[in-house]
Amino acid sequence: MLVHRIEPALTATILPKLGERVADCEDSFCLLNDRETGALRATVADGASSASFSGIWAQLLAQAFAAVPYDGDWRALEERLRTLSAAWTRAVFSRNLPWHAIERAKRGSFATIAGLGLERDPEGGVWSAFALGDSCIFHVRDGRIETALPLADAAAFGNNPMLLSTDAERNAGLGDEFVVHRGRWRQGDIFLLATDAVSQAVCAMNANDPDNLPELLRACADCDDERRAAFFDSARTERRIKNDDIAVLSIEMV
């Protein structure tokens, strides 16, 4: 079988809130290449700061959804979430925790998720995406946002996004809340996957200052890790981006 491997230009950014350690970051991402089809799959997940051990939950979700993307089969996903929840429980409660941390952990954890699949077909390039909450995917062509999902309006970002939980009962009905989309890509297109702080900034800039959007896209794609981190630290210090954990994947189709 002929494999058309997707090999774009990639940069990945993971940063904690200003003044915190990388180990404290509750956002996560995952990148996987399918050896059989050559497809590239990417995810970002944002653990809720108000929840206990949400960074572990975000990491589990990012890895699982990159391996097996959401395809609209909610019953199958519910079963996977139970397995992931059991893994989270083992990871958390195997630790030597003080009593107050145990009580907090018993309330479970929460995270958003967004995933992207990129592949080739006989007619060119195909992309597919799914998202729940306020982690977003942006399809950019010629410096303009063609598609933004699940949110495109900066005002739509708030303190209560849809979240996947370690508690199965809290996930009831969330299958209808997933946004699923398919489209086509061509050489030069850029895909940006980002958790809420950067996603909100992208949406605001696209609406209010679109001429400077390319600068933000270039910063996300900068291959110099220190320069990229400095840009985000400066943007958060100046409140152009909310001071929050950051996970960003920049994928340019070359």
The one-digit pLDDT tens for each residue of the chain (254 residues) are 445 677 889 999 999 999 999 999 999 999 999 878 889 999 999 999 989 999 999 999 999 999 999 988 998 999 999 999 999 999 999 999 899 988 988 999 999 999 999 998 777 799 999 999 999 999 999 989 999 999 999 999 988 899 999 999 999 889 889 999 999 999 999 999 999 999 999 999 999 999 989 999 999 999 999 999 999 999 999 999 999 999 999 999 98
pLDDT of residue 120: 85
- Bridge partners of residue 32, in order along the sequence: 41
Diameter over CA atoms, the chain: 58
pLDDT score for 1: 44
Residues 6+ apart with CB under 8 A from 79: none
Query: Is residue 45 a contact partner of residue 64, using CB atoms and an 8 Å limit?
Result: no
Instruction: Give every CB contact of residue 246 below 8 A, 6+ residues apart in sequence.
Output: 13, 14, 15, 27, 194, 195, 197, 198, 232
Amino acid letter, 238: E
Asked whether the beta carbons of 34 and 68 are under 8 A apart, the reply is: no
Domains of the chain, by residue range, sit at: 9-252
With residues binned 3-state (H G I as helix, E B as strand, rest as coil), the percentages for the chain, rounded to 5, are: 35, 30, 35
Measure the CA angle with vertex 109, ends 103 and 113; round to 5°: 175
* pLDDT score recorded for residue 36: 80
pTM: predicted TM-score of the whole model, two decimal places: 0.94
9-252 CATH fold: Phosphatase 2c; domain 1 (3.60.40)
How far apart are the C-alpha atoms of 66 and 61, rounded to whole Å? 8
Q: How many residues does the chain have?
A: 254
Residue 84's Cα: distance from chain center in Å? 17
pLDDT at site 128: 96
C-alpha distance across the termini of the chain, in Å = 23
Query: What does the alpha-carbon distance between residue 173 and residue 169 come to, in Å, rounded to a whole number?
Result: 9
